Every structure is written in C-alpha cells, then in structure tokens.
Amino acid sequence: MSYTSKFTRISPKKQYRHIGEDRQRFDASDIVTGKAMFLNDFKMDDLLYAKALRSPHAHARIVKIDISKAEAFPGVHRVLYYGNIPEACKGWGLSTPPAVPILRDKAAYVGDAVALVAAETEQIAEEACDLIEIEYEVLPAVFSTVEAVKPDAPRVHDAFESNILPNVPFMTEHMMDHLVRGDVEKAFAECDHVVEGEGEYNSLGSPMAMEAPGVIMKLEQGRLKAWATTQVAMLYGPSTGVRMQGFPVDTTAFNIGGGFGNKASMQTTTMYTALLAMSTHRPVKMNLTKTEQLLVHDERIGMYMKGKVGIKDGLIHAVKGICYLDCGAYNDCGQWQMGVGLGETQVALGKCQNWDIEGKLVMTNHVQTGAVRGFGGQEIKAVLMPLVMRAVTDMGVDPVEFCARNFAQQGDGWYWRSDYKWYNCREQDYAPVMYKAAEAFGWKDKYKGWLKPTRVEGNKAVGVGVSVHGNADVGEDTAEAYVRFEASGLVYLHAGIAETGAGQRSNIRKYVAEVFDIPVEKVILAPLNSEANPFDAGPIGSRCTITLGTAVTRAAEDCRRQILDAAAKAFFCSPEDLFFKEGFVFYKSRPTQPHHIFEFSHFGSSYTGTGRWTSDYSKSNFNIYFSEVEVDLDTGATKLLKVLVGTDVGQVIDPLTLEMQIHGGFGAAAADSGLFEGNVLDTTTGHIMTGNMIDYKWRTFDDFPDIEAIVEETQPEISRFKATGFGEISGAPGPASMMMAISNAIGVDYCEYPASREGILKALGKL
C-alpha cells in the first residue's frame, strides 16, 4: 500500500482573496505544541467527580438498594438513586419525549445508571459505587426492533405503552414519519421491474472520538453553567433544557477532540452531571472512560427496512416500505433522524413520484442511540440503495448511469424533515460530476456487469461498487452572528461555532475577511460560550458552510455598511463614493488615501452588524463514492484497495480542509461501517463485547487505501460565496458502495453490515 491521496479541483477559479485559498488555522501552532485547550485541560477549583453504578442486566427491576455504606465512605458528597432525587429535579426525564424518570427502580440496558455518586476524586466515586448494595430481579429483554414491535414483547419502559415511541414534536417541529407521495400501488403496476427485500444497518457503530465525552455542571445564580465537550454549544442548553422542564443552561466549550455528530446533547452524561450539580451545590464533572464511551455513550441509530422498489424506463418509479429505527433504551433525536432520513431518500431517488415509507421509532434493551454523522440518511440509504441497485442491475442498467439519471435536479423536489413542507430543488445538476468521477475511477474498465468481478487472481477476487448521497440539511436551522469592527482595525466575530477538527472556527473568518477585504488574521473569534454568542445550531449535518457562512457574511456586510454610512455622513458624501479595505475607508476617487475610523467616529466607537440565516432545505450537497474491494474467496476476508469520492461543493472554501473532510469518510463509524466497524452485542446477555480498542475495530495508520477526490465547483446562486458544504456525507455512501463491490467480487448478491467472513463464506456456499 502506498497510502496516497490525490485531490483534484476540476475548475478552480481565482476570484476571492481568501475563499478557495488555503489559509493556516489560527490554532495550528497551539495544536502542534500541545497548548490547544480541551475540556480535560481546563482546571476548576472545588470540583467533584461523578461516577455511575451501572446495571449488569439488560432489563431488571431493583428489588433492594442500600446506599448507606457508599454515603459513609470518606470523600463521598452525594449518592443518588430513584429514592432520593432532589425535589427540584423530580420532573426531569430521559429520552424524547422525556417521559422516563432520570433514575428509577428499573434498568433498561447493560450499563444503565441505577445510582450516581459525586466524590472528591474519581477513584473515591468508583469505590463508593462498589459499596452500593443492590439486588435485581432480572426481567426478559428484547434486542431487535422486529421482536420489540410484537404485542407480547417485553416492554422497555413503563412510561411508553408499547415499544413504539409516539411521534411527539421535536423542539417545536412535528417531524415526518410517513412519506406519502403519488399512488404507489398504481405505480407498481406500471413498472418494468419490481423487487422486494429487507435489510438492516444496525451495528451500534461508535464514532469513538479521540476525546471521550465529558461534562462539568455548576449551579450558579439560578441556572446551570456547563463546560462540556459538546460540538453544539448554542444548542446544548435548549436541547438539554427540554429534559429539565426548561431549566436554563449556559454552555462553554473548548476545542472538541472529534465530534462526528456524536457530541451534541450527550444525553445521559449531561443529565446525570446536572442532577448531581443540583444536589451538591458544587461543580461536578463526569468524564467517560474509553470503555464507557464505547459501551454507554450514544451509538449510531439502527435501521431495519422492509421494502419494495419499482423501476420504469430506467427511473425509480415507486418505493414502498416500513422502517424501524432502533433507538435503544433512550431515544435522543430519533424523530429528527427519521424526518431527515425520509427526506434524503427523495434526493438520491429524485425522479420518483410515488412513495409510501413509514418510519417507527422502536425502543430496545441496549445502549441508547443518538446523533451520529449521517443522521438517519446514511442509515436508511445503507439498506435502501442495495435494494434499489438490485432492481437497477436486474434491468441491465449501469449503476453510474442510473445514479446520474435519478439524482434530484432543479425542478424536482422533496418533503423535508418536518411539518410536511415541500421544497423545490434548485441550483443543482450533479450528473456531470458523476461522469467525471466515474472516468477518473476507471469505472468503464473495472465494472464488468452485476455480480461480475473486475479480476480474479488465485483466491483473491476484486469487485467495484458505487453509491451516491445527498443531504438537504446543509441549509438546516437558524444561524445568527454578530460582527464588531473596532478602532484597532480588528474585527470581532461572535459566532457560536465549535472547532471539532474540520477547521470551522478558522475558516468562518474567511467570510468576514472577504467582506472587509482584510487579512484573516484580523478577524478574532469571541470565546465559545452561549453568553457571548447568538444562536447557531452548530457544526452538524454539513450545515455551517451555507447557514453560519451566510449569517456571518450578512453580519459583516451590515457592519461594513454602517461604517461607510458613518463615514459618508461625516465626509458629506454618499456611501457609494467610498469603499473599505485593510481597515480603512477610502474615496473611490482617491484610492491611495486611507481614512481611519477616528476621522469620523469617537475613539470609543465600534460598529456591530448582525446577520441571520433561517432554514432552507431546497438544495442538497452531493457525494458519489466508488470503492474497489478485494475478497479472499477462501477466508471471506475483505480489503479496501481504492476509494474515489466525487463531489460538487459549489465553491471550495479551503482546499486542504476539504481534502481532509473527504479523508474523514473513513473512521468514526462512517464508510468503515461497511467492512468492519461496529460494536458486537451478545443478544443472550445484552452485553456489548467490544468495549475496548482492541475488540472494537478501527482503521490503523498502516491500513489506508489510496484515495482520490474529484471536486467540481459549479457556483450555484445560493449565497454570496456559492458554497454548499460537504463534511458530514464524506463517508455516507461508502457502506452501500462496498456491498456492491463485494457482491460483484464474489458473484453473489451480498449485503450485511459490517461485512463478515462468515457471512461471505455462507454467501459463497462454503459454510
């Protein structure tokens, strides 16, 4: 292996000072010297440390519990269980809707917290957990959604009458749980070919960010102050408050040691820390170990789908199905993921006019799931696309040709996310870049037809596969920003964006620097906390490029306009006679004569502009993912040989950042959930067997295939700088693409996540 990366911009345009050009991250030096601050580098006096006593049973009732020895242990400040929850917190709940009491006399999964301890040190808290005497009555448990929806299945929570969650509003929106368009039965009758099937993408993948989730909470002036590893510092308080009867939470975040969508609400860790902070009146910190991160932190939501797909004249004509989303023991944002996932199906299959897919959120007795990059879309597509491709290839249509003809273009549209709102797709045609990417990959030579290997050498068969992904939540939710110009010539940007690794905090400066025509180094970000910044939903769903980028651009334009207005008033001229550059105002007629702000403002004056973006789901981003997989026909072992990612991002913001976002499609339970990533759940005991970094498989430094990226920039009129965003979906079509590659390599239709040696040998008839 040569571990190479090739990154090609098909049509780069030099049209901006910063955007599209590489700019060094402002925290680069801090990161390579170890000075960058993460939560665990932040010291706080008076801190107590929290640990949870966790259930060894997947489903059990607490018959007897005695906390007296733990309470008496030196250094212990508080031991909480269902019997002594502080009065103010008795209405707090877990899950969505938050109807499950935060602590109760039951455990709903192996690892569920049944008691909480706050102590002087982590070691004391751990010791105290061991001193809690507890007796359980073990109850029957259910681990699969298909079983859990049956009427006689064990009920995971008393709070819900069945294991199917009600589709309650998420925050203020009623999320889509049943996509209905056209007339599917009539449409199926018109189809040239119809296939039916079922599949599951449910391996409890853990993004396993390097930095484990951690939270500090402190009660201060009637509100909770949080210092947390959350990637959504502005959304953290509101989303947590819903589970705390609206209790106010202010949030500070530092550098985030990897997010992957998986460090948003951090539901249970957040709630347990808050509960202890409320009851001790001391700051309390709960920091998960790596094993806890793998076993009890939010995993990727599972997806089971039984469906039917019909094709007519080379286009998908009808889709019908039922989906069960496996929420585990506590749902975090399943309603939202379902709405987004159902939306995304209509992007990749944009020509289909007849739909009937129903989604149900199902509770099971394993660890809770939550937000993970892909967010409903990757999950449903991992099951739906192989089914679609079976129909396509039965018809003898080339998969790339099919993707190019079926992906949504301007004039198509979709219902997206919530409240059955229709969006007309605009400003997109991704077919050209699909063909260019296919050519760069050598698809025509490598693809020999459905279930035909590219080549076989001895016992090694190689196959190629392709899949596509697009997500319209690039325009998701509100983003606000303030931009303040000071007489020093520095511009202060108040934008609630975390740095999770994709360079967001550095790159967002480019929008401001571009508007003011100043170096990026002159743009300073306000510290990341909810007191100093307006709302932004954070770096999730590839959304920041359009949403916060636009809010910041508008704030900068507003600020610049105010400066020119003030100067024009003082100079008795029109603002149109002036321009702004390098921190000074100039007359257009005298472009070499700078005027300092002091010439038209008091020395204490500053100018603050505001900007806002509100949700718009009328455009998707795009990824076509080609993979070349080698299968050992004797052992069933798979090896990823080559990946090519093709995309049209509208306009590149920062080339090296984009290249690394594309690399980031490996790792974090994204593309690698195709071949090996996932937790292993023992469905006899309910224990996850992979709670360490040896048993949970991840891609090591010496196992990276060659990767190539083909990037188009077609300049859609969606914002001033015409950029679409990409990061979240860089690995999303990977798993489905790899299933096609394996199927083609072995000559048998195969789909199992992650691929297993046993499964492949079975498919080959060798087991």
Partner 1 sequence: MSRQVSMTINGKKEVFSIGHSGARWEIPDEETLSLTLRERLNLTGTKEACGQGACGCCTVLMNNRAVPSCQILTADCDGADIVTIEGLQDPDTGELDPIQKLFIEKYAFQCGFCTPGIIMALKGLFIKNPTPSRAEVAEALSGNQCRCISQYHVLDAADALAELNAAATNA
Of 63 and 210, which has the nearer Cβ to partner 1? 210
CB of 3 to partner 1, least distance (A): 6
CB of 590 to partner 1, least distance (A): 40
CB of 47 to partner 1, least distance (A): 12
Which of 347, 283, 282 lies closest to 319 in space, CA to CA?
347
Residue pair 271/243 in contact by the 8 Å Cβ criterion: yes
Q: How far apart are CA 267 and CA 241, in angstroms?
A: 11
Of 207 and 549, which has the nearer Cβ to partner 1? 207
Residue type, 715: Q
CB of 180 to partner 1, least distance (A): 39
User: Which H or E run includes 492?
Assistant: strand 491-494
Residue 754 preceded by cis peptide, ω within 30: yes
Site for partner 1 in 291-320 (CB under 8 A): 291
Stretch that binds partner 1, among 92-100, 286-294, 334-342, 543-551 (CB under 8 A): 286-294
Stretch that binds partner 1, among 70-78, 519-527, 604-612, 662-670 (CB under 8 A): 662-670
Q: How far apart are CA 265 and CA 262, in angstroms?
A: 8
Which residues make beta-bridge pairs with 360? Answer: 324
CB of 675 to partner 1, least distance (A): 15
Q: What is the number of other CB atoms lying within 10 angstroms of the CB of residue 490?
A: 14
Contact pick of 70, 552, 668, 761 for partner 1 (by CB under 8 A): 668
Residue 178, classed as helix, strand or coil, is strand
CB of 1 to partner 1, least distance (A): 7
Residue labelled with tokens 């060659």: 706
Give me the half-sphere count of Cα atoms (radius 13 Å) on the Cβ side of residue 348.
Answer: 31
Instruction: Count the residues of the shown chain that bind partner 1, applying the rule CB under 8 A.
Output: 62
Stretch that binds partner 1, among 52-60, 69-77, 124-132, 206-214 (CB under 8 A): 206-214
- Per-residue x/- mask for partner 1, residues 232 to 271, rule CB under 8 A? -----------------------xxxxxx-----------
Angle formed at CA 298 by CA 293 and CA 303, multiple of 5 degrees: 135
- Residue 90 makes CB contacts below 8 A (sequence gap 6+) with none
Of 304 and 626, which has the nearer Cβ to partner 1? 626
Contact pick of 115, 116, 156, 208 for partner 1 (by CB under 8 A): 208
CB of 33 to partner 1, least distance (A): 5
Site for partner 1 in 500-529 (CB under 8 A): 500-503
CB of 698 to partner 1, least distance (A): 6
Of 211 and 557, which has the nearer Cβ to partner 1? 211
Of 385 and 644, which has the nearer Cβ to partner 1? 644
Contact pick of 3, 420, 422, 598 for partner 1 (by CB under 8 A): 3
Stretch that binds partner 1, among 178-186, 287-295, 488-496, 714-722 (CB under 8 A): 287-295
User: Which H or E run includes 127?
Assistant: helix 122-131
Binding to partner 1 by residue 657, rule CB under 8 A? yes
Site for partner 1 in 43-82 (CB under 8 A): 43
Of 84 and 123, which has the nearer Cβ to partner 1? 123
CB of 202 to partner 1, least distance (A): 21
Q: How far apart are CA 429 and CA 408, in angstroms?
A: 8
Binding to partner 1 by residue 700, rule CB under 8 A? yes
Contact pick of 15, 29, 245, 614 for partner 1 (by CB under 8 A): 29
Stretch that binds partner 1, among 171-179, 271-279, 571-579, 661-669 (CB under 8 A): 661-669
- Burial per residue of 47-65, b for 16 or more beta-carbon CB atoms within 10 angstroms, e otherwise: ebbbbbbbbbbbbbebeeb
Residue pair 661/732 in contact by the 8 Å Cβ criterion: no
Residue type, 283: P
Binding to partner 1 by residue 641, rule CB under 8 A? no
Binding to partner 1 by residue 766, rule CB under 8 A? no
Give me the half-sphere count of Cα atoms (radius 13 Å) on the Cβ side of residue 302.
Answer: 28
CB of 327 to partner 1, least distance (A): 24
- Per-residue x/- mask for partner 1, residues 670 to 699, rule CB under 8 A? ----------------------xxx---x-
Q: How far apart are CA 535 and CA 141, in angstroms?
A: 41
Which is it for the CA torsion 443, 731, 12, 31, positive or negative?
Answer: negative
Residue pair 706/4 in contact by the 8 Å Cβ criterion: yes
Q: How buried is 11 (Cβ within 10 angstroms: 0-12 exposed, 13-18 middle, 19+ buried)?
A: exposed
Which of 646, 604, 594 lies closest to 625 in space, CA to CA?
646
CB of 762 to partner 1, least distance (A): 31
Rg of the chain taking only CA atoms, in angstroms = 27
Binding to partner 1 by residue 35, rule CB under 8 A? yes
Stretch that binds partner 1, among 37-45, 50-58, 107-115, 453-461 (CB under 8 A): 37-45
Q: How buried is 355 (Cβ within 10 angstroms: 0-12 exposed, 13-18 middle, 19+ buried)?
A: buried
Contact pick of 707, 711, 761, 763 for partner 1 (by CB under 8 A): 707
Give me the half-sphere count of Cα atoms (radius 13 Å) on the Cβ side of residue 108.
Answer: 25
Residue pair 732/741 in contact by the 8 Å Cβ criterion: no
Residue pair 362/326 in contact by the 8 Å Cβ criterion: yes
Strands (E), 280-367: 284-287, 299-300, 302-312, 315-328, 354-363
CB of 466 to partner 1, least distance (A): 21
Pairing type for strands 214-220 and 223-228 reads antiparallel
Stretch that binds partner 1, among 35-43, 69-77, 536-544, 593-601 (CB under 8 A): 35-43
Stretch that binds partner 1, among 207-215, 353-361, 384-392, 548-556 (CB under 8 A): 207-215
Stretch that binds partner 1, among 93-101, 210-218, 398-406, 592-600 (CB under 8 A): 210-218
Residue 87, classed as helix, strand or coil, is helix
User: Two tokens at 483?
Assistant: 């931009």
Residue labelled with tokens 């995304």: 344
Contact pick of 666, 726, 750, 753 for partner 1 (by CB under 8 A): 666
Residue pair 140/154 in contact by the 8 Å Cβ criterion: yes
In which region does residue 400 sit, left (phi positive, over 0), alpha (psi from -120 to 50) or beta (all else)?
alpha
CB of 737 to partner 1, least distance (A): 17
Contact pick of 2, 221, 589, 592 for partner 1 (by CB under 8 A): 2
Stretch that binds partner 1, among 24-32, 297-305, 432-440, 613-621 (CB under 8 A): 24-32
CB of 351 to partner 1, least distance (A): 34
CB of 114 to partner 1, least distance (A): 24
Which residues here bind partner 1, judged by CB under 8 A? 1-5, 22, 24-25, 27-38, 40-41, 43, 207-212, 255-260, 289-291, 499-503, 656-657, 660, 663-668, 692-694, 698, 700-704, 707
